[in-house]
A and B are shown apart, each in its own frame.
Chain A
Amino acid sequence: MRAYGNLHPAVTALHLLLIAASAMFCSDMLLLGTLLGGIFTYVLLEYRDACRHVHMFAWGMLLLIALLNPLWNQHGATPLVVINRHVVTLEALQYGIMAGLRTAAVLYACALFSQVMTKEHILYLMRHSTPKLALVCSMALRYLPLMRRRYAEIRQAQLAIGKISDETLIDRITGGLRVFSILLTWSLEHGIVTANSMEARGYGIGKRSVAQTYPFTCDDGMMLGGTLLCGGWLMGCLLTGVCDVTYYPLYAAAERNVWYYGAWAAAGLLSFLPILFDGKERYRWHCLRSNI
């Protein structure tokens, strides 16, 4: 059961974009850690296997950036060690950790985005706003399996009539090029035929209607409300500079006041919304099951 993944595509897209955007604007380690924590926990709970390759990459990037920044950057007033006349400063290390956290948070948001927002979701969103582009994309995606099938077909035919062979490496390369050339001719000719038949059936005349495959439900409304409230509050705080941190020359944390803690709470809620939402769905399912 993946309730968060079944929401309306626009709601999920907005939620994940808001998380990624606020992580990009944020320069405070606590807020970034909270954002990263929420997304990371959700990925671990729901998409552990699908996102296997992301873990190594994201945490590796975090370490790499945190370690590289003090080696490159000489700003900062508090020297830690001197390596070969190069001063490693505390502030550069802190900035590196912050930049690493930011990168990891954005990477996890993007990984979750590609898991939740499948091609169908994206095409659904594009169909409303940019119908031509959506058509080009869906045709390109449709050509991928079609071309593989045609390639195998052409290869078999060419092998059977003895035009190509796969004995040596050079034979295989020249044969592959020949098959590719035939595939290209076939695809281009067939593309023109498709275009002609589309125009003959009236493509491009008048307004096109769009099928509503993802209805907007009450759950979507709740999620959208929560996202807009938390995301708006957080972005407002970030853009007005309430949570701005100065790193160079001396580290100066953001002032801990009501606004700061408000932004922290909003970041927590925003990033833990998927978990809360799935929890709610689990509870509902549990209730329904025990009643039957």
Chain B
Amino acid sequence: MRILPSPLRCILRIGIPLLACPLTLLFAVSQWQADRYAVSILLMTGLALLLFLAGIEQRSIGTRRMILASIFIALAIIGRCLPIVKPVTALIILAGMYLGAQSGFLVGAMTALLSNFLYGQGPWTPFQMFAWGILGLLAGICANPLRQSRLLLYGYGLLSGILFSMMMDVWTVLWQFGTLSPDAYRAALLTALPWTLVYALSNFGFLLLLAKPIGNKLARIEKKYGL
């Protein structure tokens, strides 16, 4: 599938890394007081998301991959409705592993965006999009070892629960206290500890349940139709 280049996306692709990011950083460092770290980090996250999404528009990701990604997004949104233990991250990891790094990021970011229509949009939405997107992207980059070793996959599931919690805590601390002091961050990590454990264990459990059936089905689709 060929996508014609659009001037807007070209501007985004060239303008953000070359102009917008350095200017935001320079402005943030020189002009703003320390309590605006949260805003500058939010801006940078938004820019990174824009850049990545413009890249997805530019490259040919393939109609089949796009539709499989949207199926995974729908499954993850439904999964987020389960009480307490949620298979969202597990599904994003599987999508990244079998559909590629780019689609993994897409599934993570769009799951956060669309499911927040049900759970409430807020300043945390870009961070959730980024955190889940990065987890999917990493799973896609490490696809080969993760596919070969089940143990590694479960380990990545546990780790991604902890990573997600840590990334979101950076945001919590920045938003509430203005600066990222080690004490406040440690306190936030401690208060979030039960949730971190729930995330990590539910990722582990759902990967244990889903990795084999979903993996087999996707491998079959890959073999039968080619992606």
Instruction: Give the chain B neighbours of A189 by CB distance below 8 A.
Output: 221
Query: Chain B interface secondary structure, helix, strand, loop or mixed?
Result: helix
B120 in complex: contacting residue of A114, A129, A191, A239, CB < 8 Å: A114
Closest approach, in angstroms, between the C-beta of A190 and any C-beta of chain B? Answer: 9
Query: Chain A interface secondary structure, helix, strand, loop or mixed?
Result: helix
Could you say which of A82-90, A192-200, A216-224, A249-257 contacts chain B?
A192-200
Whether A206 and B4, one on each chain, are in contact in the complex, defined by CB atoms closer than 8 angstroms, is yes
Whether A192 and B39, one on each chain, are in contact in the complex, defined by CB atoms closer than 8 angstroms, is no
Near B by CB (< 8 A), chain A positions 101-116 give 103, 106-107, 110-111, 113-114
Per-residue contact bits, chain B 1-26, to A (CB 8 Å; 1 contact, 0 not): 11110001100000000000000000
Instruction: Give the chain B neighbours of A54 by CB distance below 8 A.
Output: 120
Near B by CB (< 8 A), chain A positions 124-159 give 129-133, 135-137, 139-141, 143-144, 147
Alpha-carbon distance between A239 and B30 when the two chains are bound, in angstroms? 12
Q: Knowing A199-B63, A203-B63 touch, does A147 contact B57 (C-beta < 8 A)? A: no
Categorize the interface residue count of chain B. Answer: 35 or more
Instruction: Give the chain A neighbours of B77 by CB distance below 8 A.
Output: 140, 144
Whether A25 and B1, one on each chain, are in contact in the complex, defined by CB atoms closer than 8 angstroms, is no
Whether B56 and A133, one on each chain, are in contact in the complex, defined by CB atoms closer than 8 angstroms, is yes
Flag whether B44 is at the interface (Cβ < 8 A): no
Whether A140 and B73, one on each chain, are in contact in the complex, defined by CB atoms closer than 8 angstroms, is yes
Could you say which of A39-47, A66-74, A258-266 contacts chain B?
A66-74
Flag whether A181 is at the interface (Cβ < 8 A): yes
Whether B71 and A143, one on each chain, are in contact in the complex, defined by CB atoms closer than 8 angstroms, is yes
Flag whether B69 is at the interface (Cβ < 8 A): yes
Closest approach, in angstroms, between the C-beta of A62 and any C-beta of chain B? Answer: 12
Instruction: Give the chain B neighbours of A289 by CB distance below 8 A.
Output: none
Instruction: Give the chain B neighbours of A195 by CB distance below 8 A.
Output: 63-64, 66-67
Instruction: Give the chain A neighbours of B56 by CB distance below 8 A.
Output: 130, 132-133
User: Looking across the interface, which residue of chain A has its beta carbon closest to that of B66?
Assistant: A136
A99 in complex: contacting residue of B1, B42, B178, CB < 8 Å: B178
User: Looking across the interface, which residue of chain A has its beta carbon closest to that of B69?
Assistant: A136
Whether B176 and A68, one on each chain, are in contact in the complex, defined by CB atoms closer than 8 angstroms, is yes
Instruction: Give the chain B neighbours of A143 by CB distance below 8 A.
Output: 70-71, 73-74
**In the complex, which of the residues A131, A132, A133, A247 has the most CB atoms of chain B within 10 Å of its own CB atom?**
A132
Flag whether A241 is at the interface (Cβ < 8 A): yes
Flag whether A184 is at the interface (Cβ < 8 A): yes
Alpha-carbon distance between A205 and B3 when the two chains are bound, in angstroms? 8
Q: Knowing A72-B184, A144-B78 touch, does A103 contact B175 (C-beta < 8 A)? A: yes
Whether B3 and A132, one on each chain, are in contact in the complex, defined by CB atoms closer than 8 angstroms, is yes
Closest approach, in angstroms, between the C-beta of B97 and any C-beta of chain A? Answer: 15
Q: Knowing A187-B71, A204-B3, A205-B2 touch, does A141 contact B225 (C-beta < 8 A)? A: no
Instruction: Give the chain A neighbours of B177 by CB distance below 8 A.
Output: 69, 72-73, 99
Flag whether A237 is at the interface (Cβ < 8 A): no
Instruction: Give the chain A neighbours of B38 by CB distance below 8 A.
Output: 24
Whether A244 and B33, one on each chain, are in contact in the complex, defined by CB atoms closer than 8 angstroms, is yes
Flag whether B211 is at the interface (Cβ < 8 A): no
Per-residue contact bits, chain B 140-168, to A (CB 8 Å; 1 contact, 0 not): 00000000000000000000000000000
Flag whether A81 is at the interface (Cβ < 8 A): no
A136 in complex: contacting residue of B75, B110, B221, CB < 8 Å: B110
Alpha-carbon distance between A134 and B196 when the two chains are bound, in angstroms? 32
Flag whether A286 is at the interface (Cβ < 8 A): no
Alpha-carbon distance between A135 and B3 when the two chains are bound, in angstroms? 14
Flag whether B170 is at the interface (Cβ < 8 A): no
User: Looking across the interface, which residue of chain A has its beta carbon closest to that of B1?
Assistant: A204
Alpha-carbon distance between A25 and B74 when the two chains are bound, in angstroms? 35
User: Looking across the interface, which residue of chain A has its beta carbon closest to that of B39?
Assistant: A24
Known: A136-B106, A137-B113, A140-B74. 20 other contacts (CB 8 A): A20-B123, A24-B39, A68-B176, A72-B183, A114-B120, A132-B3, A132-B56, A136-B66, A140-B70, A147-B78, A184-B213, A187-B71, A188-B221, A191-B64, A191-B71, A194-B67, A203-B1, A204-B63, A206-B4, A246-B33
6 contacts between A and B (CB under 8 A): A68-B176, A106-B122, A110-B120, A133-B57, A137-B70, A203-B63
